């Protein structure tokens, strides 16, 4: 099915342009209501991150849904995984997230979750698209939807997060810096860690509508590194604007990405006897994680980049743990989607259980040097370049030189006119040279 509006993770763009306008959001709300609200008494929960345009888009979506006869439960600022959780526990037909995740404030977007807390299926997204371009027809006055505010939404989600670790665990004596990216976790994450006993220093927790992800959060980890060193903390937790990504920093200021976090959680699950199956990563997952998992008896399977593909493979295999280097970690035995706070709690539980530091827990994995170079396309299409005989020959040459000790990933971007060239291997200098060599071939074809 060719989709006109939905991308790989909902609808996203610059506010005031394309689909990110009040008019389109009105139509989208109405179309979603027509598809998702066919049962009498249907309801949808709506949450948002802290960017200023959230008010605008929320109001337009609300009007469209109400016009379709669907009740609305407004959650206010809420992390993406919190909206998925509340859609499930409030027995809604769907949850709508207004967020552009780690993007700057001038972008925004819409994501949908099913009533079970999973990403909406391709079939339902396609069905919504089929309704969007139809004339908006309001239901009769006596069938209009109503809007309610869920005043205790944050408290419900805080309690859920705390319940994802054993009730006897505590983090007393642990000092943690929590970077909320001036985003949707600002009023939630610090409370979760404090209520579990940690001494918390919060940064990026003063949103003003314009500063989301601005120099803070998981995509600007330097702020957390400085704070951990300055505060002499045991570790740092960095979330992104909508709270579904996690990066961490150890006491020395070293960064742990999603691969490190997956390794620590997998080892902890083996030790406490709760690990089932293997681990799902993506094409971007470092070869070092694959080899480290092999040493502890776990298989790694790779999918395309994107948490929806990871979740699909986890469900297919009946496995429980997956994620990607960017910090989307799915603990399927705890929740239904990537959750930065929940993932951080699993790592801190491993620290509590083992008595080891974060640095010690990640020491069993050695990452291979990895280099990614993006090549902009000028006139030639990505499909033409990828089919080029000269590029195929260059790719075979690079793979032969690596000799089975590394990995090459060559793929078009799904969101930009780019081809991504990624090489990893044991020898960092060789990786740099081969990346430049292969990227130059792409540049000549572009």
* pLDDT at residue number 405: 84
Q: Which of 409, 415, 376, 381 is nearest to 395 (CA)?
A: 409
* pLDDT at residue number 8: 78
Residue range 17-65, pLDDT digits in tens: 999 999 999 999 999 999 998 888 899 999 999 999 999 999 999 999 9
The CATH homologous superfamily of the domain defined by 11-151: Alpha-D-Glucose-1,6-Bisphosphate, subunit A, domain 3 (3.40.120.10)
* pLDDT at residue number 138: 97
Residue ranges of the chain with per-residue pLDDT less than 70:
1, 414-415
Distance CA 299, CA 279 (A): 6
Query: What is this structure's pTM?
Result: 0.92
Catalytic machinery residues: 101
Residue 246, classed as helix, strand or coil, is strand
Q: Which residue has the tokens 């699993």?
A: 346
Distance CA 91, CA 156 (A): 14
Intrachain domains 11-151 and 157-361 with the same fold:
yes
The CATH architecture annotation of domain 157-361 reads: 3-Layer(aba) Sandwich (3.40)
* pLDDT at residue number 296: 96
* pLDDT at residue number 415: 63
Distance (Å) of CA 306 to CA 119, 183, 218, 311? 12, 21, 17, 9
Residue range 102-113, pLDDT digits in tens: 999 999 999 999
Distance CA 84, CA 86 (A): 6
386, 412 in Cβ contact below 8 A?
yes
Distance CA 104, CA 142 (A): 41
Distance CA 217, CA 240 (A): 5
Q: Where are the domains of the chain?
A: 11-151, 157-361, 370-445
Q: Which CATH number is associated with domain 370-445?
A: 3.30.310.50
């Amino acid at each position: 099915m060719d989709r006109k509006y939905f991308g790989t993770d909902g609808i996203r763009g610059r506010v005031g342009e394309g689909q990110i306008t009040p008019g389109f959001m009105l139509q989208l709300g109405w179309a979603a209501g027509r598809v998702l609200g066919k049962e009498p008494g249907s309801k949808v929960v709506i949450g948002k991150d802290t960017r200023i345009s959230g008010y605008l888009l929320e109001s337009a979506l609300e009007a469209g849904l109400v016009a379709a006869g669907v009740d609305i439960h407004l959650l206010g600022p809420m992390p993406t995984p919190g909206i998925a959780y509340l859609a499930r526990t409030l027995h809604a037909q769907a949850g709508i997230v207004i967020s552009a995740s780690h993007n700057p404030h001038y972008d925004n977007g819409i994501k949908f979750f099913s009533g079970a807390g999973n990403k909406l299926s391709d079939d339902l997204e396609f069905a919504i698209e089929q309704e969007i371009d139809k004339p908006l027809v309001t239901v009769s006055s006596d069938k209009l939807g109503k809007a309610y505010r869920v005043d205790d939404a944050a408290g419900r989600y805080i309690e859920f997060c705390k319940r994802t670790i054993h009730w006897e665990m505590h983090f007393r004596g642990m000092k943690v810096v929590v970077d909320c990216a001036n985003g949707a976790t600002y009023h939630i994450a610090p409370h979760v860690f404090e209520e579990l006993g940690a001494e918390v220093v919060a940064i990026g927790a003063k949103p003003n509508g314009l500063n989301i992800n601005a120099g803070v959060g998981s995509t600007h980890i330097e702020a957390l590194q400085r704070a951990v060193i300055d505060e002499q903390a045991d570790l740092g937790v960095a979330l992104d604007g909508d709270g579904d990504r996690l990066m961490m920093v150890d006491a020395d200021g070293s960064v742990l990405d999603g691969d490190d976090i997956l390794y620590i959680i997998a080892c902890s699950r083996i030790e406490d006897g709760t690990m089932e199956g293997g681990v799902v990563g993506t094409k971007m997952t470092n070869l070092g994680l694959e080899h480290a998992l092999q040493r502890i008896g776990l298989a790694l399977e790779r999918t395309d980049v994107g948490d929806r593909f990871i979740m699909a493979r986890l469900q297919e295999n009946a496995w429980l743990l997956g994620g990607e280097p960017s910090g989307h970690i799915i603990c399927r035995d705890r929740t239904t989607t990537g959750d930065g706070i929940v993932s951080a709690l699993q790592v801190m539980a491993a620290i509590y259980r083992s008595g080891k530091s974060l640095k010690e827990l990640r020491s069993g994995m050695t990452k291979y040097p990895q280099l990614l170079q993006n090549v902009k396309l000028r006139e030639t299409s990505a499909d033409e370049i990828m089919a080029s005989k000269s590029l195929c020959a260059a790719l075979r040459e690079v793979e032969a030189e690596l000799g089975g000790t590394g990995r090459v990933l060559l793929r078009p971007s799904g969101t930009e006119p780019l081809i991504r060239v990624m090489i990893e291997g044991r020898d960092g200098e060789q990786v740099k040279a081969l990346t430049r060599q292969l990227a130059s071939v792409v540049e000549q074809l572009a």
